[in-house]
Structure 1
Amino acid sequence: MSSLVLGVDGGNTKTVALVVAADGTIVGSGSGGCGDIHNAGGPEPALVEIGRATTAALDGARATAADLAAAAFSLAGADWPEDFVFLRSELQGRLGLRDEPEVVNDALGGLRCGTEDMVGVAVVIGTYAAVTARNADGQLFHLGFWPDSTGAFALGSKALAAVWRHMLELGPRTSLLERALARWRCADAEELLHAFTRIGGLEDSEPGRFADAVLDEAEAGDPVARTIVETVAGRMGDYARVCAARTGLLGAPFPLVLCGGVLRHPSTLLRAALHSRIPEGRPVYPDVEPVAGAVLIAADLVGARPDVRRLQSALAGSTEHQG
């Protein structure tokens, strides 16, 4: 029987696929665009990108889908029960997998990155954020959509709104103005507003690119940026606490896995604000890329124990997998 496993991490910014041998050696990799069936313009474009990444990884491994011992997909947008039914069926059929693949929300992939038994709470902060909890009985809780926007997109959107409120003399001045003008090469706030709202203007995803600047300015002491970071992080902490409560984890310490591109920023403000809402969590910061969670879930299905250090080393050495 083959020892190869496939792990795929599908996010809003990119999709990464790895084919990995039993010892953790990466033998094939591939990448694609947005793999979120709710945000890629519909399920079909997302499936195309997932398929593109997977096919490239299999080609790199000189393998076919039939050669895989197991496959797992950790996907943003795998939210509701019908999503999982749809994705399992479509991915098996389109990719020619022998068996129905494991499909999980990308927050669960994040949880596996930071734990051996997938027990705890995970907050994955990328373009958006995914939050989940799982207890020792295997009970899961996460929602498809939270009531408030989170992640890089929320940080950037709130920052731009603050810039435009100041333009209208409805809010205080903020150093975010200069950062935004430099980022998008505009002369003033009104030109920036036009760049975002004119026909054929900047893409809707652009605010997410501003999260790093918001965190920079918050760390430097800008009160507007600091309030934005504390608000967005507090919401994510609240959602993490809800997940922990729904799975009975509150009342004793548990792993709080924190991962995703936004959390790589050196500022500690976001992490501190999040943790303040769920102090029972013991922060865990995985030092592997999110796709490693999908690989490990696939390996778990067949009892394989890939060397995580080998996997980590290979991922760290490949710019393709940097977030």
Structure 2
Amino acid sequence: TSPHVLGLPAAVARIADLVGEARAAAALPSSIGLDQLSVYVAGADLPVEVEALSNAVAALGLAVESTVDNDLFALLRAGTPDPDAVGVVCGAGINAVGRRADGATSRFPALGQLSGDWGGGHHLAALALYHACRAEDGRGPSTALTDAVRRHFDRPTVEAVSIAFHLGELPAARLDELCEVLFVVAAAGDEVASRVVRRMADEIEALVRVAATRLGLLDRPYTVVLGGGVLTARHPQLHDDVVARLARMSPAASLTVLSTPPVAGAALLALDALHDGACPPAVETAVRSALPLP
């Protein structure tokens, strides 16, 4: 339902459809209204975007109260009930948010390179191809990525891989497969690939440091939640580095890797709103059990 992908009208229409599907699945009579609608979507990054989406969702009249925000807040709630927390997502892209018990939040514009972002699955995959190309033609240092990329796409050279993507012979979406190739090559000891993985750890550390510092949490107990496919995969070279860095930076913090999907966090946030900020523990357990991470 990202407005960046669908446009605002289509995104809001899709949200209305999803609410209708949920009501039908729950066999909820049309005479019964909803008290709370909590919507957390990708693309709700800037305050102006959150406001526009909030107004559009409220105008649907689907519930007495509606809450709209970035999907990372749902990920954060799915990861921990701790009111003092920082969440980092590294999936297709990368982003982070923080929250404090008094309601204060910290967030980033998350506009890609336009806002200084580095990393995420798309970026890592592109870097794997970048370094493989430069090693093959002599512009960059030798790396095992060259043979790994060529073999992965069954092409005679990395140049042939690049040309196949350019001409559409290889679907653009397949480039993302190189993210996993990068981690495999790095784990085998390749320095070029390992340098990229270390740079990814740098970025995750920086996001947590900035978010926690803004909220005055850096030297206090708080929870760090790691989510998104790149981080939930727990690639040892990245995961162990991040764990060690965060332990040095914030010794009082605890770390968890997401085991419940963000949609469960959205449900829990709605239930929090209906129960004075704290979903009953038995209900939270039921929600988490019903919605395991795929």
Into which bin does the TM-score normalised by the smaller protein fall?
Answer: 0.7 to 0.9
Q: Counterpart in 1 of 2:287?
A: 311
The one-letter code matched in structure 2 to 1:155 is: L
Gaps of 5+ in 1: 1-34
Quote the RMSD (CA, aligned, Å).
Answer: 2.6
| Cα contact 2:150–2:157 (8 A) shared by 1 | yes
Q: Counterpart in 2 of 1:87?
A: 53
Q: How does 1:133-172 map to 2 (within 5 A)?
A: 133-145=98-110, 146-172=115-141
Q: Counterpart in 1 of 2:193?
A: 225
**How far apart are the structure 2 equivalents of 1:271 and 1:86?**
37
Are 1:107 and 2:83 an aligned pair? Answer: no
Are 1:60 and 2:10 an aligned pair? Answer: no
| Cα contact 2:268–2:287 (8 A) shared by 1 | no
TM-score of the pair, normalised by structure 2: 0.84
Structure 1 residue 183 displacement after superposition: 4.0
The one-letter code matched in structure 1 to 2:133 is: W
Number of residue pairs the alignment of both structures matches: 281
Q: 1:110 to 1:263 in 2, by over 3 A?
A: same
- What is the percent sequence identity of the aligned residues? 28
Q: Counterpart in 2 of 1:29?
A: none
| Cα contact 2:36–2:65 (8 A) shared by 1 | no
Which has the higher mean CA deviation after the structures are superposed, 44-53 or 121-130? 44-53
| Cα contact 2:226–2:232 (8 A) shared by 1 | no
Residue-by-residue CA offset, 1:156-207 (whole Å, 9 max, x unaligned): 111111111112211233333344334444332112111222368633x544
Residue-by-residue CA offset, 1:208-241 (whole Å, 9 max, x unaligned): 3332222222222222221111112211220221
Q: Counterpart in 2 of 1:248?
A: 216
**How far apart are the structure 1 equivalents of 2:171 and 2:116?**
26
**How far apart are the structure 2 equivalents of 1:52 and 1:201?**
34
Are 1:98 and 2:63 an aligned pair? Answer: yes
Q: Counterpart in 1 of 2:8?
A: 43
Q: Counterpart in 2 of 1:192?
A: 161
**How far apart are the structure 1 equivalents of 2:14 and 2:56?**
13
**How far apart are the structure 1 equivalents of 2:243 and 2:75?**
17
Q: 1:277 to 1:148 in 2, by over 3 A?
A: farther
Q: 1:47 to 1:246 in 2, by over 3 A?
A: same
The one-letter code matched in structure 1 to 2:56 is: E
- 2:63 alignment partner, SS class: coil
The one-letter code matched in structure 1 to 2:67 is: E
Q: 1:157 to 1:65 in 2, by over 3 A?
A: farther
Query: By percentage of residues, which structure has more helix?
Result: 2
Gaps of 5+ in 2: none
Which has the higher mean CA deviation after the structures are superposed, 245-254 or 193-202? 193-202
Q: Counterpart in 2 of 1:78?
A: 44
Structure 1 residue 144 displacement after superposition: 1.4
**How far apart are the structure 2 equivalents of 1:54 and 1:156?**
35
Match 2:93 to one of 95, 107, 128 = 128
Structure 1 residue 107 displacement after superposition: 2.0
Match 2:227 to one of 231, 254, 259 = 259
- 1:172 alignment partner, SS class: coil
Structure 1 residue 152 displacement after superposition: 0.9
Residue-by-residue CA offset, 1:41-70 (whole Å, 9 max, x unaligned): 643454455455444333322336963331
| Cα contact 1:259–1:285 (8 A) shared by 2 | yes
Q: Counterpart in 2 of 1:69?
A: 35
Q: Counterpart in 2 of 1:21?
A: none
Structure 1 residue 108 displacement after superposition: 1.6
| Cα contact 1:255–1:282 (8 A) shared by 2 | yes
The one-letter code matched in structure 1 to 2:75 is: G
| Cα contact 1:76–1:105 (8 A) shared by 2 | yes
Q: How does 1:198-209 map to 2 (within 5 A)?
A: 198=167, 202-203=171-172, 205-209=173-177
Q: Counterpart in 2 of 1:4?
A: none
**How far apart are the structure 1 equivalents of 2:179 and 2:210?**
25
